[in-house]
Amino acid sequence: MSDYKRIAKDGLWDNNVVFAQGLALCPVLAVTSSATNGLGMGLASTAVLVMSNLLVSLIRQWVSPAVRIPVYIVLIATLVTLVDMALNAWVHELYKVLGLFIALIVVNCAILGRAESFASKNSPIPAVFDGLMMGLGFTLALVILGGVREVLGSGTLFASASLLLGKAFSFMELTIIPDYKGFLLMILPPGGFMALGFLLAGKRILDKRADVARERKAKAAVTPLTAGGAA
């Protein structure tokens, strides 16, 4: 169970695809003009991550190390094509918005990296769980970045969610700042870089505070033992 907790923490925070590894920044900055787009891209990437980790884990014993990378790329490309066709068929409005960036999931270093560093060395269940946590961490980063840009840019959150994801998601459409004129820069590419920079800085600050808190807790636990030994 502790291994699964570590995998979850790595995927969601410590080894987050965007905030820790700095991977997949092209689609991250391109599709996060709104939280809805970020959510759609994140869920598509999560599906590919889970399925690719599962397949790589299942075939790891039969793939020669000399050809493993081409094999993994072919598998990922096949899965991305299936996800792309599924979105086009069932969530066409979202597909039109994301467009080319769905196909670019093939070259997402995070997906190939997890296949190489984790799925190829572990059994299917941990591999699937790792893919799920990495995908959810990626989705979380996209939604947070898209949400920040959307709120500052237009004063809304998850705008057009019902059009892109279906009427069942209309409850997600929120107006955070009524009668807001909007800060156009935030929904343009420069705003993406600015928002991402501030979020990365915020994560680093939180990590440092967590490290300091752990050090203080460790010292507090050692001090009574030292005092008892001296006595």
Residues of the chain with pLDDT under 50: none
Contact 106, 77 (CB under 8 A): yes
User: Looking at residue 2, what is its pLDDT?
Assistant: 65
Note the Cα 21 to chain centre separation in Å.
11
User: Looking at residue 19, what is its pLDDT?
Assistant: 94
Q: Which structure tokens are listed for 167?
A: 């009427």
Amino acid letter at 30?
A
User: Looking at residue 168, what is its pLDDT?
Assistant: 84
Specify the pairing of strand 174-175 against strand 156-157: antiparallel
User: Looking at residue 93, what is its pLDDT?
Assistant: 82
User: Looking at residue 1, what is its pLDDT?
Assistant: 60
Rounded CA gap, 210 and 169, in Å?
Answer: 36
- Report the alpha-carbon angle 59-63-67, nearest 5: 135
Contact 195, 186 (CB under 8 A): yes
User: Looking at residue 167, what is its pLDDT?
Assistant: 84
Which residue reads 């069932």 in tokens? Answer: 90
User: Looking at residue 230, what is its pLDDT?
Assistant: 55
Rounded CA gap, 163 and 32, in Å?
Answer: 17
User: Looking at residue 96, what is its pLDDT?
Assistant: 86
Rounded CA gap, 216 and 65, in Å?
Answer: 45
